Every structure is written in structure tokens, then in C-alpha cells.
Amino acid sequence: MNLTDYAGNVIRLTDERLAHIKEHPEMTLHAEKINETLADPEVVVRSKSDDEARLYYRHYAGLPIGNKYMCIVVKFKEADAFVITAYFTDSIKKGEAIWRK
């Protein structure tokens, strides 16, 4: 499936990657938040370990697992962008913020 981020970039989310993400029980219930996080993130950070990867963060309060950020890792290649993984985390990783809400 194709999703669109806050900047209008088309980002692929393959069935295989979605199945991988849903292997985490907390993500199975909140997979629909992937599109919301990409379209309306609070911050986007360039990965410190992979210059082609961007981490999209959006905070969610009142989840069964507590207040968490959803992090979506997107790899940007020449004419392609695709989701690598998505997960909940307590904090935003350090790195260069390339966009803030």
C-alpha cells in the first residue's frame, strides 16, 4: 500500500513489512496509526546510523502500554521511499531533526 507523508512523499508499506510490524502485539491494535504518524508527525529525525533513513515520531497518550511515541523508520532511496519498521518508544532518538511541527 502507498501512504503519503507530511511533505507529500509517497511511501510504500509492503504486506511483508506490515506483517513484521504486527508481530509486536502492541502494534497489532494500532497499525492504523502508521498513516497518521507519517502524515502528521511531531518531529522527523535523520538516523545517526543510516543517512538514508528518517524516523517519524508522533506522541500518543492513553495507550494500554502508557504514553508513548510511535516511531516509523522510512528508508529513502533515489526514487523510492519505504517503511522498514514501526514501534512504540518512550523517547525520541538523538539525531538531526529535519522537520518539526
Tell me the whole-structure pTM to 2 decimals. 0.94
pLDDT digits (tens, 9 = 90+) for 35-89: 999 999 999 999 999 999 999 999 999 998 899 999 999 999 988 999 999 999 9
Q: What is the signed CA dihedral for 11, 16, 17, 19, rounded to 10 degrees?
A: 130
Domain ranges for the chain, please list them: 2-100
Cell numbers at residue 50, please? 543510516
Position 95 confidence tier, pLDDT thresholds 50, 70, 90: confident
pLDDT digits (tens, 9 = 90+) for 53-63: 999 999 999 99
User: H or E stretch including 36?
Assistant: helix 33-39
Nearest Cα neighbor of 69 from 59, 56, 83, 84 is 59
pLDDT value for 84: 96
Phi, psi of 40, rounded to the nearest 5 degrees? -145, 60
